[in-house]
Amino acid sequence: MAVVSKKIPAPDKVAVKTALLSVSDKTGIVELARALADKGVRLLSTGGTHKAIAAAGLAVTDVSDVTGFPEIMDGRVKTLHPKVHGGLLAIRDDAEHQAAMKAHGIEGIDLVVINLYPFEDVRAAGGDYPTTVENIDIGGPAMIRASAKNHAYVTILTDPEDYPALLEQLAADAGQTAYAFRQRMAAKAFARTAAYDAMISNWFAEALSIDTPRHRVIGGVLKEEMRYGENPHQKAAFYVTGERRPGVATASLLQGKQLSYNNINDTDAAYELVAEFLPEKSAACAIIKHANPCGVATGANLLEAYKRALACDSVSAFGGIIALNQTLDAETAEEIIKLFTEVIIAPDVTDEAKAIVARKANLRLLTAGGLPDPRSAGLTAKTVSGGLLVQSRDNGMVEDLELKAVTKRAPTQQELEDMKFAFKVAKHVKSNAVVYAKDGQTAGIGAGQMSRVDSARIAGLKAEEAARALGLVEPLTRGSAVASEAFLPFADGLLSMIAAGATAVIQPGGSMRDQEVIDAANEHNVAMVFTGMRHFRH
């Protein structure tokens, strides 16, 4: 295909004489239309937007009067017409384009204000298949892309937040827009349609159970620019995808300074972990440091859960992230503020607790409005050089697994409960992961080691340190259950766990040396259970 080239320089200033307004979100549209009309701009519009502008007493021409063709098919066809797209795409300084406009009675359109059918909202609300398809906008993206391509002459707005900037441009320059402004709006417009199409394509893949579509696009909307990324020399921003999963992306910041890149990453890890514990069954607290839990516990109430989580590793908890699975109350808030903490996130907070946390002005307090469902489907993504790794969310739950006792001694009921608790936590610990637990409380956590033996040893050492800090005779790992998020490849890891005091082990199984590991467990009268499910986390 030959490349088309039109080497006509774009004018710096373009007067806005005719504007086409067609929006789904009518926020501020009447005020914008009035401001444009006051500047002598001719207004064109469609459907509900036309009605809203006309109801405000403003002169506005229906697009059907321009095209000479009525809206048909329930409004599906209204702007897909040469008299609209010719007015958007014409190169005004090209003689051939000018001649075509004159020959076909096409008038130029200088400003287009469009936002799209609320596909994202319909999808998030769980709309059925026909309703969701019906909310895929066609004419809107076509006009946005046409206007954005021809930004040398046309100004395109896709976001009500840009209305004031447009009016400032027109006021400062006698009703004209600058080329740099039109460029920025065009870039924003193409990003908008790209994100919109990404949402649609991902919905189709989900609806049709296409796990690996030929093209995978993930779009987001800028929520906030960050001061920096993981390190001060890195630039960063936070984008939200539109997924209505309660968490850091949907949370309200009630107090404290802006969340950092690392805060957001750690807070997400903390809240996803604490959501594993149903609030109606028990209160739960997870304390996270550098995306790994340093203490997790359940309790009769949040205060008890927090104290027990803190006891696991009070040193590492300093400057950490605290996630709670129930409404933050005054007693728990009073205890939390005794320790330097970066972030607290909970489904909600009482007024009394909010006032208590306010004593620590820099402590960030987030309410998410609910807990994410650990069983729900979804996608996670990670960039690599030249590519994107996309996978389904790890929504495996130990309660849903058929646990298989593989040793001579079956676990006691208490050991079984501790095993399940430990395995839930291990799912959220960076691999290689080893987690000791006892009575609904982590006793020691070993994370991110190259050797699983080292993870087991580190977890045991952390437990010993915690015991000394609490004045205990022996660490909580004595008589504990221990979880490994992946299979034990050799018996050495198991022997380290036994040396730390574990009496029951839960692991996926599946190693070539499973029998060797089982034999070692039998030799030490340790109960072992296989889950059949691995939880690698890199």
Q: Which residues are catalytic?
A: 149, 290
Q: Which helix (H) or strand (E) holds 392?
A: strand 387-392
Going from the C-alpha of 374 to that of each of 32, 77, 295, 323, 512, the distances in angstroms are 44, 42, 19, 15, 31
* DSSP code per residue over 513-536: THHHHHHHHHHTT-EEEE-S----
Pairing mode, if any, of strands 341-346 and 320-324?
A: parallel
Which residues, at least 6 apart from 116, have a Cβ–Cβ distance to it below 8 Å? Answer: 24, 137, 140, 141, 144, 158, 192, 196
**Cβ count within 10 A of residue 267:** 26
Contacts by 350-353, CB closer than 8 A, 24 or more apart = 353/328, 353/329
Task: List C-alpha distances in Å: 364 to 82, 228, 259, 426.
Answer: 54, 18, 8, 27
Q: Tokens for 289?
A: 């440091």
DSSP 26-64: -TTHHHHHHHHHHTT-EEEE-HHHHHHHHHTT---EEHH
Q: Is 510 left (phi over 0), alpha (psi -120 to 50) or beta?
A: left
The end-to-end CA distance of the chain, in Å, is 45
Residues in the chain: 538
Which residues face 77 on adjacent strands? 72
Q: Look at the block and give the residue holding tokens 């021809």.
A: 150
Q: How far apart are CA 185 and CA 166, in angstroms?
A: 10
Pairwise CA distance, residues 283 & 304, whole Å: 8
Separation CA 354–CA 254 (nearest Å):
8
Tell me if 268 sits within 8 A of 245, measured CB to CB. Answer: no
Name the E strands within 147-280: 155-157, 176-178, 221-225, 237-240, 252-255
Q: How far is 193 from 172, CA to CA, in rounded Å?
A: 29
